[in-house]
């Protein structure tokens, strides 16, 4: 296919290392499907592979999720056929075409577009993992949600509030504060404030049950200081850099805190995990509990500009790349 291409990394570094390269889509083998992609989700983890924070064998095509239309299926595939609309996660989605396991491709229900699926699949399943799989969010809980207007945070806030969780959101600007309130946040704290002090004031000195922290290095101390005894610190991202090493005695001293650094694919090891997670996500989308918020779109060829925008905190909601 003369128009097929991918974005490739041949050396780690800044956004300028993202290079357009012609490719020939790989024909599907047994159990696989070939998809012409219409939308590709941009995630902060893509920048970790580009910079070398997360190692990858070079040359490397970044990208973790996408959506499009099935063009061909391999031997033994019964759950999909050419023409089906699907969404999926897998390595190497910065491309016009993607070939991968058909069992991990999710047929899109009526009413959910390919744009919505590509914008929410990885982020939405991450929110599902945090809210349901690690520790079930309960009515009456109080949660600290960092970056509430970002890709994952903008889904955690409304989903958590629908479960009866009181959400205290931490953000950086008035514009993002309004988005957090519109999504259901009960209170907004600005990141330049004494976050832990504000949390204690808003909770009568008790602290929060859980901190959903995708920021990383710059938010770590405030997350720890904001938790009540036996509270949970879910550190799931490195937007400001990797968290510094922490002595376990710090958790004990603060009241037997629980810290976890989850990765989504540890919670999606079986086909049943994928079915359960996608059912919860698509169900929440169909009922309007959560909605895809595509804040910005870039041409796939402009992936470098998209990386500059997300690293510069210049994005809100989800970012899509279009082939």
pLDDT in tens, 36-56: 999 999 988 899 999 999 999
- Residue 192 corresponds to which tokens in the numbers above? 């330049």
pLDDT at 271 over 90: no
Superfamily of domain 5-121+271-322: Medium-chain alcohol dehydrogenases, catalytic domain (3.90.180.10)
pLDDT in tens, 55-109: 999 999 999 999 999 999 999 999 999 999 999 999 999 999 999 999 889 999 8
Asked if 277 contacts 128 with a C-beta cutoff of 8 angstroms, the reply is yes
Mean pLDDT computed over every residue of the chain: 94
pLDDT in tens, 239-255: 778 888 999 999 999 99
Within 8 A by CB and 6+ apart from 148, the residues are 154, 156, 157, 167, 169, 170, 171, 176, 179, 180, 183, 185, 188
DSSP code string of 190-223? ETTS-HHHHHHHHTTT--EEEEEE-S-TTTHHHH
Per CATH, is 139-261 categorized as 3.40.50.720? yes
Q: What is the pTM of this model?
A: 0.86
Return the domain boundaries, the chain. Answer: 5-121+271-322, 139-261
């Amino acid at each position: 296919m003369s128009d097929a291409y991918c974005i490739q990394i041949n050396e780690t570094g800044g956004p300028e290392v993202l290079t357009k390269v012609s490719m020939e889509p790989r024909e599907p083998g047994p159990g696989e499907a070939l998809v012409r992609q219409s939308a590709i989700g941009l995630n902060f983890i893509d920048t970790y592979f580009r910079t070398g924070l997360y190692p990858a064998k070079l040359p490397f095509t970044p990208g973790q999720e996408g959506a499009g239309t099935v063009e061909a299926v391999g031997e033994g595939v019964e759950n999909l056929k050419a023409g089906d609309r699907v969404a999926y996660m897998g390595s190497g989605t910065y491309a016009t075409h993607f070939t991968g396991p058909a069992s991990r491709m999710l047929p899109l229900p009526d009413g959910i577009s390919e744009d919505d699926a590509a914008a929410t699949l990885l982020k939405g399943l991450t929110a599902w993992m945090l809210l349901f799989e690690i520790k079930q969010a309960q009515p009456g809980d109080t949660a600290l949600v960092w970056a509430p207007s970002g890709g994952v945070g903008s889904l955690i806030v409304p989903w958590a509030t629908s479960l009866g969780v009181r959400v205290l959101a931490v953000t950086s600007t008035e514009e993002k504060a309004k988005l957090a309130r519109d999504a259901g946040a009960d209170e907004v704290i600005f990141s330049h404030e004494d976050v832990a002090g504000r949390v204690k004031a808003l909770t009568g000195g008790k602290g929060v049950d859980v901190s959903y922290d995708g920021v990383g290095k710059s938010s770590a101390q405030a997350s720890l200081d904001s938790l009540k005894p036996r509270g949970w610190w879910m550190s799931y991202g490195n937007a400001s850099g990797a968290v510094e090493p922490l002595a376990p005695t710090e958790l004990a001293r603060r009241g037997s805190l629980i810290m976890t650094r989850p990765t989504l694919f540890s919670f999606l090891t079986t086909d049943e995990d994928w079915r359960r997670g996608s059912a919860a996500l698509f169900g929440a989308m169909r009922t309007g509990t959560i909605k895809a918020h595509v804040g910005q779109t870039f041409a796939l060829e402009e992936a470098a500009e998209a990386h500059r925008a997300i690293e510069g905190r210049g994005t809100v909601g989800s970012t899509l790349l279009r082939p």
